Amino acid sequence: MINYVTGFMFSQDLLNVGLIKKLKPKWQNGLYNGIGGKIEHDESPYEAIAREFQEETGVETKPDEWKLYVTLTRPDIYRVYFLCMISDKVHNIRTTEEEIVKLLPCDALPKNVIHNLRWLIPLALDKSLAMTTPICIEEIKNP
């Protein structure tokens, strides 16, 4: 199974989020997604998101600044750890690699976003939820 991280950094006022316009994999080409990538063999999800976020946006974070709030698993294929944090460091994000990084309004996401961002972003911002334990979701192979 391949393990991935996807992170959402929100501005302190919760109005903006940093996203990346994907080139690959092919099914994500042209769509905005959270920042992230594969978890290396010896990394925790927290270490992986701190590394990936710095590599893709130029913004340094610490692993303990991130909060794991959802895991999404397709058995025997992949697991994605979704993490979030609130910091005005998001205003310093910049494109550092091929894929374009942008600060976008949380309440007016463009049409070309990965479909699950439409519920992952509001879930992360919901102040009525404590999120003391990550929500675990298992995808059905053939719905």
Condensed to tens digits (0 to 9), the pLDDT of residues 43-64 reads: 999 999 999 999 999 999 999 9
- How many domains does one find in the chain? 1
CATH of the domain at 133: 3.90.79.10
For tokens 């063999």, what's the residue?
41
The answer to whether residue 9 is domain-embedded is: yes
Q: Parallel, antiparallel, or unpaired: how do β-strands 16-21 and 67-74 relate? A: unpaired
The pTM for the full model equals 0.95
Note the pLDDT of residue 143. 60
**Rounded-to-integer distance, Cα 82 and Cα 64, Å:** 14
The answer to whether residue 101 is domain-embedded is: yes
Helix residue ranges per DSSP H, the chain: 45-57, 117-125
Note the pLDDT of residue 75. 92
The answer to whether residue 92 is domain-embedded is: yes
Note the pLDDT of residue 140. 86
The answer to whether residue 143 is domain-embedded is: no
Q: Which band of pLDDT confidence, cut at 50, 70 and 90, is reported for residue 21?
A: very high
Give the domain extent around 108.
2-138
- Coil vs helix vs strand at 63: helix
The answer to whether residue 91 is domain-embedded is: yes
The answer to whether residue 123 is domain-embedded is: yes
